[in-house]
Amino acid sequence: MHNIMSDPLIRIEGISKKFTGRDGTATTVFEDLYFSIEPGEFVCLIGHSGCGKTTILNVLSGLEQSSSGYVFVGGREVSGPSLDRAVIFQSHALMPWLTVMGNIAFAVSSRWPEWNQEKVRAHCQQYIDLVNLTGAEKKRPAELSGGMKQRVGIARALSIQPKMLLMDEPFSALDALTRGVLQEEVLRICAETRQTVFMITHDVDEAILLADKIVLMTNGPHAKVAEIVVNTLPRSRTRHDLHKHPHYYRIRNHLIDFLVDRSKVFASDSPDYDPRHPPLVSPGLDPAEAAALAPVSGKPLAAVR
């Protein structure tokens, strides 16, 4: 499909977002963001609220425009929403007057307007089965639990066979048990379909479970990409044995350490920071140096680079 496989699917070049308040003062939420997403990659974005995470996702989806900078998808600049990039909304955003089948069929018939009803139905059923909602086709969203609603949201997004899936904290409104189950299903589905995913989260464990790369944002305003953490855990991970892997706690500590302390003081922390090439770190890798990571040491994390 991609003639040049090494080319990133998504390239973000120096995007920023300014909001003008009621009194006319402009606030720069984030600026100078540079990162890219390879085909088949699962990238999570973590940051405190106020760093513009949802805005970044909306810019990627084309629903919002950045104040400056560019987003390229497959070499083309993003100018608006596209069926190539499906969005899974935090609040699931299902149409309450449509059934499960109706909600997915709306997406499918938007993607392939020439399909007849029978073909649309069969295609929808495939994705309803994929998210384990078989039997609930005729139910309306009001009759579904929170987890089931989000499954419909996932099925709707996948059904249009997008190049890229954008998820905005898709599981944050769910209880811990349901969230865990859905995370594993997303993991399974992404492994089966080799789907490229960009996901916003504030859940460190969710990021470690799902992501290949974790983009860390500093606090807003003027938020930046602080660093990109490579998840060195093997891809065949499950929620069950995730914490048994030696890399797990190192990555986790690194992320939590960042969120608690370094996200605030990042700028003063790294004088040689270049926003165009945010540092790529693999905190999971080296056990010897990981000892220096212990919270008591308070030493800069540059050692693990």
Partner 1 sequence: MNHLLSWRAPLLSLIVFLLLIGVWHALTLPKSSAPQTVGSEYAALVGAEASTGQKSAFPSPADVGRKILEHLREPFYDRGPNDKGIGIQLAYSIVRVMIGYLLAAMVAIPVGFLIGMSPTVYRALDPYIQVLKPISPLAWMPLALFTLKDSSVSAIFVIFICSLWPMLINTAFGVSSVRREWLNVSRTLEVGHLRTALRVILPAAAPTIMTGMRISISIAWLVIVAAEMLVGGTGIGYFVWNEWNNLSITNIITAILAIGLVGMLLDLMMAKLTKLVTFTE
- Taking CB under 8 A as the binding criterion, the range among 38-46, 77-85, 175-183, 190-198 that sits at the site for partner 1 is 77-85
Tokens of 264: 């605030």
**Binding positions for partner 1, 247-266, rule CB under 8 A:** none
Whole-angstrom distance, CA of residue 131 vs CA of residue 17: 35
Residues binding partner 1: what is the number (CB under 8 A)? 25
> Is residue 93 a contact residue for partner 1 (CB under 8 A)?
yes
Answer for which of 29, 57, 107, 130 binds partner 1 (CB under 8 A) is 107
Q: Does 87 bind partner 1 (CB under 8 A)?
A: yes
- The residue (of 113 and 271) whose beta carbon lies closer to partner 1 is 113
- Of 84 and 185, the one with the shorter C-beta distance to partner 1 is 84
73: β partners: 10, 76
Shortest distance (Å) from residue 154 CB to partner 1: 14
Query: Token match 């939590």: residue?
Result: 256
Measured N-to-C along each axis, helices 176-193 and 146-159 cross at an angle, to the nearest 10 degrees, of: 20
Q: b/e for 6-40, b at 16 or more Cβ within 10 A?
A: eebbbbbbebbbeeeeeeeeeebbbbbbbbbbbbe
How far apart are alpha carbons 149 and 143 in whole angstroms?
Answer: 9
Q: What angle do CA 211, 53, 270 make, to 5 degrees?
A: 80
Touching partner 1, residues 156-175 (CB under 8 A) = 160
> How far is the C-alpha of 91 from the C-alpha of 160, rounded, in Å?
19
Residue closer to partner 1 (CB basis): 21 or 80: 80
Closest approach of Cβ 251 to partner 1, in Å?
32
Interface region with partner 1, contact rule CB under 8 A, candidates 13-21, 57-65, 170-178, 212-220: 57-65
For residue 95, state whether it binds partner 1 (rule: CB under 8 A): yes
Task: For residue 215, give the amino acid letter.
Answer: V
Shortest distance, position 160 Cβ to partner 1, whole Å: 7
Measured from the CB atom, the residue of 59 and 290 that comes closer to partner 1 is: 59
Q: Exactly one of 26, 70, 83, 134 binds partner 1 (CB under 8 A); which one?
A: 83
**Which is closer to partner 1, CB of 110 or CB of 238?**
110
Burial of 192 (0-12, 13-18, 19+ CB in 10 A): exposed
- Strand arrangement, sheet containing 85-88: 85-88, 164-168, 196-201, 42-46, 213-217, 225-230, 280-281
Of these, 70, 76, 77, 110, which contacts partner 1 (CB under 8 A)? 110
What are the tokens at 80?
Answer: 């608006």
Query: Can you tell me which of 16, 55, 61, 150 binds partner 1, judged by CB under 8 A?
Result: 61
Site string for partner 1, 124-153 (x = CB under 8 A): ----------------xxx-----------
CB of 80 to partner 1, least distance (A): 8
Binding marks (x or -) toward partner 1, 17..36, rule CB under 8 A? --------------------
Dist CA 84 CA 111 (whole Å)? 10
Q: 222: closest CA among 180, 267, 254?
A: 267
Q: Which residues bind partner 1 (CB under 8 A)?
A: 61-63, 80-83, 85-87, 89, 91, 93, 95-98, 106-107, 110-111, 140-142, 160
